[in-house]
Amino acid sequence: MSVSQVQDNYAALHQGFRWAVPEHFNMAQVCCRRWADRPDADERIAIHAHQGDGRGPSFSYAQLQDGANRLSAVLKVLGVQRGDRVAIVLPQRYETAVAYMAVLQMGAVGMPLSTLFGPEALEYRLQDSEARVAICDGACIDAINQVRDDCPLLETVIGVAEAGRLADIEFDLALAQESGQFELVNTHADEAAVLIYTSGTTGNPKGALIPHRALIGNLSGFVCSQNWFGFDGARNESSDAVFWSPADWAWTGGLMDALLPTLYFGRPIIGYNGRFSPELAFTLMQQHGVTHSFLFPTALKAMMKAYPKPRKHFKLKLRAMMSAGEAVGDAVFAYCRDELGVLVNEMFGQTEINYVVGNCTRYWPAKPGSMGKGYPGHNVRVIDDDGNECPVGTPGDVAVNRFDVHGEPDPIFFLGYWKNPAATQAKYTGDWCRTGDVAVRDADGYLWYQGRADDVFKAAGYRIGPGEIENCLVKHPAVANAAVVPKPDRERGALVKAYVVLAAGYVANDALIAELQAHVKGKLAPYEYPKEIEFIDSLPMTTTGKVQRRVLRLREEERFKSAV
């Protein structure tokens, strides 16, 4: 289906949508226990563990619930109580899903931590959260053991697989000694479920406390961005959907946008904790018949450069795809449409208020390069410093109101920053929760991402958003990826500088620089072309796949100071 063939049902969906948030709600109950209670629980697959050869064990919802019950019993013996924090330092693997279901069903708070964190990052989060137990595997057991003396409240470390011999308790052995029965704690919808630390540009990371009800708030965006995932159009019941995303389950994108919503609909998700590559992505999707996915723009750019015509090499069953983390851009949009056969749905959100803006090409047309509109149930605006809505075409802060268009509370909101009421208060202007991301709204209500507030800069008096320039550069066959930052300049304040990662087969030289500059100059405004281009082997990235422009910006500032 082309963009032009999509009927616009946005207004009807938005106006007709109503939240249904019960007083009591538990993520683990709706994501696992209710499926485990069905007659087909032993056959209904929850997790497919992908291994290098495409093989790997599969685990049913019955097995997932049994493991969760046993782990909940272990945690209870260790003294974990309702509201206590349990650190889950695990990659995409079956035991990770067991850990979340176990912690959530007992009313404790799961704290996802990346296995890529070093000792210092782990120590800060373990100390600040006052976590009582940590569950980890071999990737991070050494780092956790290094900081245990500085985390006196961390009483027990549970080791999965090879980490068991270096931990206090071995995961499988401990579970084998407990009963497969555990009574669900009847949590309130507003009760804390997850504590996710989110890093800003300055200061220590802040812990965003996410309630159980936030999963409900996620669902309208998830369903829309996956073109009605979990239902077939005729019978309105569970479909044959199979989900995969390389997003780490230790982050909002992997946990709240992939693992939990897939389990909510009783469908299988692929777990793979190896290194991402374009070949791996296409091979995995082919072998498991993946129908729905969440792929970062960075991943899609790599796939686009490695396999310009992927359907010549792979047989795919993709029906829908969401992308987020950076602006998708029309080059990636066109690749997904023409070569993957799906109209990619760009999505925008953040840990504190996730899955609030995006597209749904099944029910309203996407504009290539646009981040979409507010998803049903979310009242989204672009506002100025005083909280007033910005006129069409004027950049402002993307913000979400505590109340939807019908005046009802939006369940997506976080409870606040852990032990940081001042930061929580600063997040709001009245009932508007600011994201810190800059966008402009067009006359049709679509939002166009300009970058983080601290990524947007002025050069020669012009306001520059890096996303548009980066998107333009990636359209050139020589460019695999790009990041645009300001380079300090005495006369003009700043110049537009681009860091470029070359595609395979291209060589950096002055002629290519001139060609890339002309490429941008011919497509964008004259003041937007990069006055300087520096070729780089790889861009600095966050563990969630976002380009760290701040690292490059600071590099330019240091060079400027040294030259003065």
Provide mean pLDDT across the span 197-213: 82
Between 217 and 205, the higher pLDDT residue: 217
Mean pLDDT taken over the chain = 91
Q: How far apart are CA 9 and CA 286, in angstroms?
A: 32
Task: Please give the pLDDT value at position 564.
Answer: 66
Contact between residue 115 and residue 90 where contact means Cβ atoms under 8 Å apart: yes
Say if CB 378 and CB 412 are below 8 A apart: yes
Residue type, 207: G
Report residue 236's pLDDT band, with 50, 70 and 90 as the boundaries: very low
* CA atoms of 442 and 509, how far apart (whole Å): 39
DSSP 481-515: EEEEEEEEETTTEEEEEEEEEEPTT----HHHHHH
Q: Is the pLDDT of residue 543 over 80?
A: no
Distance CA 407, CA 150 (A): 47
* The pLDDT value given to residue 329: 82
pTM of the model as a whole: 0.84
Residue range 493-519, pLDDT digits in tens: 789 999 999 999 999 999 999 999 999
- What pLDDT shows up at residue 413? 98
If you ran DSSP here, which 8-state letter would residue 389 be given?
Answer: B
Interatomic CA distance for residues 171 and 75, integer angstroms: 11
In order of start, what are the domains of the chain with their CATH numbers? 1-25+213-452 (3.40.50.12780), 455-563 (3.30.300.30)
Which DSSP category does 162 fall into?
A: G
336 has a pLDDT exceeding 90: yes
At residue 204, does pLDDT exceed 50?
yes
The Cα–Cα gap between 364 and 357 comes to 13
Q: Which helix (H) or strand (E) holds 129?
A: helix 119-129
Tokens 């960075």, located at residue: 298
Q: Please enumerate in sequence order all residues whose Cβ is within 8 A of that of 412, keeping only pairs 6 or more positions apart, or say none.
A: 214, 217, 218, 353, 354, 355, 356, 377, 378, 400
Q: What is the pLDDT of residues 81-129, one digit of tens each?
A: 999 999 999 999 999 999 999 999 999 999 999 998 888 889 999 999 9
Q: How far apart are CA 159 and CA 133, in angstroms?
A: 11
Task: Identify which of 323, 271, 270, 334 has the alpha carbon closest to the alpha carbon of residue 299.
Answer: 323
Residue with tokens 């050869």: 53
pLDDT for residue 460: 62
Contact indicator for 441, 384 with CB cutoff of 8 Å: no
pLDDT in tens, 381-417: 999 989 999 999 998 999 999 999 999 999 999 999 9
